[in-house]
């Protein structure tokens, strides 16, 4: 892996005589050193192709982000490896990265809604419970699922793309109301949602997520395998090991700003004026990070429209190091579910094996990062709120790290979802190349979600390039 200083030395050898502009040439240029780009690069290397991965930041991993310099190495991004993550499990095994089973769920949520703290058991009898009849007994965190179609009408992982399920490609909130959800329950159901309103998401997209989750649980149970795993030492170990295996092919500090493409090849220009010529390119960056890149010629419709309009979740991660288990001090459930701006909190094992982290995931309209504070201000605000509503946290938590995904121009949000109508409008159009440009990244996967989606997409792009008849070198 080359950082900028080392890269300048390497690129000098490729510079055109005496010209200040630095130029380089490769078979395949890959943009983005997240799991998608790294997986594409590793697979293409096995076919004998020369690859270069251009990464804008100084860090490998993108939305996998373990902060090894903070107490207990907190995870600000992806940490949870699902049972169906065959590619992640495979790469972890081959690169000798240790995985551990996620500890059994430790109790449910502790709630704080309408200014009142309570547990799921107390909820049915509370005067702030807006529901009637047997619905009063459904815990706030379980309400949304209660009104989703049961059983899930999608019979398999690819079904979301089939026209027979297009009827579900409509606003999620409205679908829940039609399924009998009382209007009064909608604000509760919106807690933890990554968009400002439930209607911003297609109900079909939610069914897709549900199908993936349910299949993972049943597959794990059938195989006697853990439903969830995590990486000893932190999730970033996987992308770091992948990048290391690519040796000098990953160039850090190379923010791509322009791409020209045609039958003769692809030329990629970075902010620092490096030009990389290639026979094909894999664009493995999230859509919000793709939007400012200038394409010559412009990308065709409806691709350009999909890049402009497919929405991303909004969220800030605040991770607190648990110096003493506050839930043992007060005997209440460890996880949080609130209508406060901090929204939800999950107690996770520390990747370094010494205790726990409390991961506050403030999402959607509540997203704390959107209020404009610095990371330190956001961290202190969250800590203050936790002290106020749950006194047992006083002296037992310290802020370990903060990351706002929405404001980060290299991410632009958490992950892609589909607005109502967009499954029908766009299908999975990113699975097809636009000439010599191939798309990868979690937002382009067909069957998987999360990190495994990124791996699936990198594999698909690499296979398409490897099997293409056009010359690789531009
Ligand atoms: C808070 C959070 C929690 C999550 N938890 C989980 C979880 O527990 N389990 C799970 O499976 N998934 C989880 N995910 C999702 C998972 O992180 C992503 O699906 C996956 O990491 C995406 O990988 P990617 O390669 O598609 O994109 P990214 O990881 O975003 O990689 C894209 C790369 O492109 C780079 N880049 C952007 N613009 C440019 C440019 N112009 N030039 C050059 N480089 C550029 C970025 O810096 C980045 O390194 C979570 C995501 C978030 C945000």
**pLDDT recorded at residue 470:** 57
pLDDT band at 104 (very low <50, low <70, confident <90, very high): confident
Mean pLDDT of 101-105: 82
Distance 236 CA to ligand 1 centre (A): 11
Strands 294-296 and 256-262: parallel
Which of the residue ranges 2-6, 227-231, 349-353, 451-455 would you say has the lowest mean pLDDT? 2-6
Query: Domain coordinates of the chain in residue numbers?
Result: 4-63+236-311+417-466, 66-137+314-404, 140-183+194-223
242 lines ligand 1 (CB under 6 A): no
Q: Which residues pair with 24 in a beta bridge?
A: 276
Q: Is pLDDT of 472 > 80?
A: no
318 lines ligand 1 (CB under 6 A): no
253 lines ligand 1 (CB under 6 A): no
Cβ atoms within 10 Å, residue 464 = 18
For the chain, percent of residues with pLDDT exceeding 90: 87
What are 183-242's pLDDT values in tens digits? 999 999 999 999 989 999 999 999 999 999 999 999 999 999 999 999 999 999 999 999
The CATH class of 66-137+314-404 is: alpha beta
Q: Is pLDDT of 361 > 70?
A: yes
pLDDT band at 7 (very low <50, low <70, confident <90, very high): very low
238 lines ligand 1 (CB under 6 A): no
Mean pLDDT of 425-435: 96
Pick the atom of ligand 1 nearest to 411's CA. 30
Instruction: Give the H/E segment covering residue 257.
Output: strand 256-262
What are 377-414's pLDDT values in tens digits? 999 999 999 999 999 999 999 999 999 999 999 999 99
24 lines ligand 1 (CB under 6 A): no
**pLDDT recorded at residue 21:** 59
Separation between Cα atoms, residue 28 and residue 349, nearest integer Å: 39
Instruction: Give the H/E segment covering residue 143.
Output: helix 143-146
> What is the per-residue DSSP string for 6-21?
HHHHHHHTTS-TT-SS
Q: What is the CATH number of domain 4-63+236-311+417-466?
A: 3.50.50.60
> Going by CA atoms, what residue is nearest to atom 4 of ligand 1?
78
Which of the residue ranges 117-121, 168-172, 350-354 would you say has the lowest mean pLDDT? 350-354
For a ligand 1 pocket test, name from 60, 85, 236, 285 the mutation site with the most ligand atoms within 8 angstroms of its C-beta.
285
Mean pLDDT of 311-334: 96
Distance 334 CA to ligand 1 centre (A): 28
Distance 147 CA to ligand 1 centre (A): 31
- The residue whose two tokens read 């996880």 is 335
Helix (DSSP H) and strand (DSSP E) numbers for the chain: 14, 18
Contact between residue 352 and residue 321 where contact means Cβ atoms under 8 Å apart: no
Round the average pLDDT of the chain to a whole number and report it: 93
454 lines ligand 1 (CB under 6 A): yes
Separation between Cα atoms, residue 216 and residue 201, nearest integer Å: 23
Contact between residue 336 and residue 345 where contact means Cβ atoms under 8 Å apart: yes
Pick the atom of ligand 1 nearest to 413's CA. 53
pLDDT band at 8 (very low <50, low <70, confident <90, very high): very low
Exposed, middle or buried: residue 213 (CB in 10 Å: 0-12, 13-18, 19+)?
A: middle
451 lines ligand 1 (CB under 6 A): yes
Distance 88 CA to ligand 1 centre (A): 14
pLDDT band at 473 (very low <50, low <70, confident <90, very high): low
Q: Which among 54, 52, 121, 56 is positioned nearest to 410, based on CA atoms?
A: 56
- Print burial letters for 191-208: b (CB count within 10 Å at least 16), e (below 16): bbbbbeebbbbbbbbbbb
Q: Is pLDDT of 357 > 50?
A: yes
pLDDT band at 5 (very low <50, low <70, confident <90, very high): very low
Q: Is pLDDT of 9 > 50?
A: no
> What is the per-residue DSSP string for 277-304?
EEEEEEE-S-HHHHTTSEEESPPPTTHH
pLDDT band at 15 (very low <50, low <70, confident <90, very high): very low
Q: Output phi, psi for 312, to 5 deg.
A: -120, 150
Pick the atom of ligand 1 nearest to 451's CA. 11
**pLDDT recorded at residue 11:** 46
**pLDDT recorded at residue 372:** 86
Pick the atom of ligand 1 nearest to 32's CA. 34
441 lines ligand 1 (CB under 6 A): yes
Q: Is pLDDT of 20 > 70?
A: no
Distance 261 CA to ligand 1 centre (A): 25
What are 272-302's pLDDT values in tens digits? 999 999 999 999 999 999 999 999 999 999 9
Distance 287 CA to ligand 1 centre (A): 11
**pLDDT recorded at residue 371:** 83
**pLDDT recorded at residue 270:** 98
Contact between residue 164 and residue 156 where contact means Cβ atoms under 8 Å apart: no
Distance 230 CA to ligand 1 centre (A): 17
Mean pLDDT of 59-83: 96
Q: Which two tokens stand for residue 13?
A: 């050898």
Distance 61 CA to ligand 1 centre (A): 7
Enumerate the H helices of 153-236 as residue ranges. Answer: 172-178, 186-190, 203-223
Mean pLDDT of 238-253: 97
35 lines ligand 1 (CB under 6 A): yes
What are 117-152's pLDDT values in tens digits? 999 999 999 999 999 999 999 999 999 999 999 999
Distance 450 CA to ligand 1 centre (A): 9
> Going by CA atoms, what residue is nearest to atom 36 of ligand 1?
32
């Amino acid at each position: 892996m080359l950082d900028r200083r080392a890269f300048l030395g390497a690129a000098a050898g490729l510079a055109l005589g005496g010209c200040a502009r630095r130029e380089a040439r490769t078979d395949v240029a890959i943009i983005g050193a997240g799991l998608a780009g790294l997986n594409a690069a590793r697979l293409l290397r096995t076919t004998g192709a020369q690859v270069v991965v251009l990464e804008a930041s100084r860090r490998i991993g993108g939305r996998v982000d373990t902060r090894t310099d903070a107490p207990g190495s907190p995870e600000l991004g992806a940490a949870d490896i699902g049972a169906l993550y065959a590619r992640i499990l495979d790469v972890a095994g081959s690169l000798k990265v240790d995985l551990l089973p996620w500890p059994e769920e430790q109790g449910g949520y502790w709630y704080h809604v309408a200014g009142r703290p309570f547990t799921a058991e107390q909820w049915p009898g509370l005067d702030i419970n807006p529901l009637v009849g047997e619905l009063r007994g459904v815990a706030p965190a379980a309400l949304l699922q209660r009104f989703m179609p049961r059983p899930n009408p999608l019979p398999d992982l690819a079904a979301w793309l089939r026209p027979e399920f297009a009827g579900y490609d409509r606003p999620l909130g409205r679908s829940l109301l039609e399924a009998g959800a009382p209007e009064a329950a909608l604000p509760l159901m919106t807690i933890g949602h990554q968009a400002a309103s439930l209607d911003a998401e297609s109900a079909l997209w939610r069914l897709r997520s549900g199908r993936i989750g349910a299949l993972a649980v049943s597959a794990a149970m059938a195989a006697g395998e853990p439903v969830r795993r995590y990486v000893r030492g932190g999730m970033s170990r996987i992308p770091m090991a992948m990048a290391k295996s690519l040796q000098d092919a990953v160039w850090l500090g190379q923010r791509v700003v322009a791409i020209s493409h045609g039958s003769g090849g692809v030329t990629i220009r970075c902010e620092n004026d490096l030009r990389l010529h290639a026979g094909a390119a894999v664009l493995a960056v999230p859509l919000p990070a793709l939007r400012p890149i200038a394409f010559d010629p412009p990308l065709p419709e409806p691709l350009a429209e999909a890049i402009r309009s497919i929405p991303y979740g909004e969220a800030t991660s605040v991770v607190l190091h648990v110096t003493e288990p506050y839930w043992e001090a007060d005997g209440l459930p460890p996880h949080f579910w609130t209508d406060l701006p901090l929204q939800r909190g999950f107690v996770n094992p520390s990747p370094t094996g010494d205790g726990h982290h409390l991961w506050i995931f403030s999402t959607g309209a509540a997203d704390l990062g959107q209020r404009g504070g610095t990371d330190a201000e956001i961290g202190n605000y969250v800590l203050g709120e936790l002290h106020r509503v749950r006194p047992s946290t006083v002296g037992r938590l310290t802020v370990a790290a903060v990351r706002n995904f929405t404001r980060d121009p290299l991410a632009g949000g958490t992950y892609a979802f589909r607005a109502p109508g967009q499954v029908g409008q766009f299908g999975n159009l990113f699975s097809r190349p636009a000439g010599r440009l191939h798309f990868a990244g979690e937002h382009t996967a067909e069957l998987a979600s999360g990190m495994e989606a990124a791996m699936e997409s990198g594999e698909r792009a690499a296979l398409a390039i490897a099997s293409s008849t056009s010359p690789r070198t531009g």
